[in-house]
Structure 1
Amino acid sequence: MADSSLIFQVYGCDNAFIKLHASSSLLGPNYNIIIGGWGNTRSQISKTVTTEQLVDLYYYNHLMDCYSFQNFWISWQKGMIRVGSGNTLNYNVFLLYDDMCSFTIQEVVISTGWGTTLYWIFHPQALTTQARSSSYDMIDASFVKSFDCPTFEVISTIKELVSTRCAGKCRIIENCKGFQYNKVSEVCILLSDTAINGTLTSLYRLIE
């Protein structure tokens, strides 16, 4: 899906689940967001690549309401996961996570648990993305080494004498979000942000 945010209303006592999937098949890496869980006392974000990892937690009673719709929003632009109350993006944030191994969200799934019935109204809204630079910046200025990332789609494999030239190639290709470089073989692998599966890897991740 093209959008990178959702503004929505939910009516019910507790346990609103929103899962952001890297694949439309609902397999592989995902972010799992719970609003008003554990009897409307706790909300959280967890990330799954090979195993589920809790990445942010918020304790607060009564975010949800058994008798009225409550407004919430979620955004996931450039790996910055944000969850807030109200109907204005980036205001009243109560959950956040910045992921250096982020992936494109292909599917959003809503559900509930523990026998709760919820009613939802969604208002999709895309966030504005900033223009990319096409300059040949150095690795330490534009990229950071990230570990335990999901495996990403390969855009291109080329030979380059140094890693800075590999970084430069990634910067000028629109959908390149990172690269891997082997200084022994001088092989440069350019990567998108489409996660293929949950196999862990490391890469130089573009800082945007």
Structure 2
Amino acid sequence: MTNFLDVATEDNLQYQFFPVSSGSVTFKVRTPNDAHLALTLGPQESDPMYEVFIGGWGNTKSVIRRNRTKPDKVEVDTPGILNGGEFRGFWVRWDGGVVSAGREGEVIPFISWTDPEPFPVGFVGVCTGWGATGTWKIEAQPSAPQAAALYSTPPGYPGGPAPGGAGVWAEASGGQVPPEAVLGGQDSNGEPLYVARAQHEGAILPGKLVASHGCAYVPWGGQEHGKPTYQVLVGGPNNWVPTNGSNVPPGAFPGGQTEDGETLFIGRVRHEGSVTTGKVQQSHGVCYISFGGQELGFPDYEILMA
């Protein structure tokens, strides 16, 4: 049974905060305009912080703002996105420095921005203002152990649950994004990319899930390979550490293995406006990503820690 936190907000732009343990929040809100969310380190307004304004400017636009400072990081036209007479459902995610918001039932966000200097979000605040009051139903997120019970590892995949219960690999296909999927980055067009892996030529290869393409992509043999059946990291860690070459730090998250049995780790790089996840092969001293049909190697990358 889903637990909801019921919150009423006045027309005063005063945030009401609650703690969060996952990288997303799902909610329904009934308000004519200006449903505001704050993502913060603690239960108060303080830098650093993100703000997501849904249906601002008379219910015509939505924006993402950092540290209460203009200009806004991104702005999109969203006419009529809110309604004072009925609940509208949304989700907001903040994984891997990618802050995004989307409508209930839609995988692709209507607004997204990548922070080059992300911080760990511990609290979410909600408020209304600019002539609007609001009624909110905020969904309590399931914890990682509950997510682990929902999924089992298919035959042929080693490992199952990650070390220490820090995440599980959930089987999916056709562009499906399981609940609590770990967001690894975003494509050049702003679409979220999730941490995924798939089997290929006897190997289990970390890569990226592109939901709108209906598949995950893995890098191997100089090429990008699309996989309609794949696994997605669920309820897992989201701590990315910069490194380079063969310097895999202790505690890096193992994500698969080569056809020869070498452990592969999960990495990501910035490339042509994207933040793309791929495989770190320590013996090669690079992070490989699949991009534009090719396998590309980068000596400087971020690696996912357990």
User: Is TM (by shorter chain) over 0.5?
Assistant: yes
TM-score relative to the length of structure 2: 0.42
Q: Distance between the aligned counterparts of 1:48 and 1:36, measured in 2?
A: 20
- C-alpha distance after superposition, 1:54-109 (max 9, x if no partner): 11111121000121111111011111111011245x33x11101122111001111
What corresponds to 1:46 in structure 2?
Answer: 65
Indicate the percent of aligned positions where both proteins have the same amino acid. 25
1:116 aligns with 2:135: no
Pairs aligned (count): 145
**8 A contact 1:100–1:205 mirrored in 2:** no
The 5 A counterparts of 1:54-133 are 54-88=72-106, 90-91=107-108, 93-125=109-141, 127-129=180-182
The 5 A counterparts of 1:14-53 are 14-48=33-67, 51-53=69-71
- C-alpha distance after superposition, 1:136-166 (max 9, x if no partner): xxxxxxxxxxxxxxxxxxxxxxxxxxx859x
Give SS of 1:67's match.
Answer: coil
2:250 partner letter: I
Residue from 27, 31, 40 that aligns with 1:8: 27
**8 A contact 2:252–2:303 mirrored in 1:** no
Runs of 5+ unmatched residues, structure 2 = 1-19, 143-179, 183-194, 197-242, 254-299
Give SS of 1:38's match.
Answer: helix
1:115 partner letter: G
Q: Distance between the aligned counterparts of 1:37 and 1:25, measured in 2?
A: 22
Runs of 5+ unmatched residues, structure 1 = 132-162, 176-203
Q: How far does residue 2 in structure 1 lie from its aligned partner after superposition? A: 1.4
Q: Which has the higher helix share?
A: 1
Give SS of 2:110's match.
Answer: strand
27-36 or 116-125, larger mean C-alpha shift: 116-125
**8 A contact 1:47–1:53 mirrored in 2:** no
**Residues 27 and 87 of structure 1: is their aligned pair in 2 closer, same or farther, counting only changes over 3 Å?**
same
2:120 partner letter: T
Give SS of 2:247's match.
Answer: helix
Give SS of 1:76's match.
Answer: strand
Higher relative contact order (CA 8 A, sep 6+): 1
Give SS of 1:39's match.
Answer: helix
**8 A contact 2:244–2:301 mirrored in 1:** no
**Residues 105 and 172 of structure 1: is their aligned pair in 2 closer, same or farther, counting only changes over 3 Å?**
same
Q: Distance between the aligned counterparts of 1:113 and 1:205, measured in 2?
A: 42
What corresponds to 2:156 in structure 1?
Answer: none
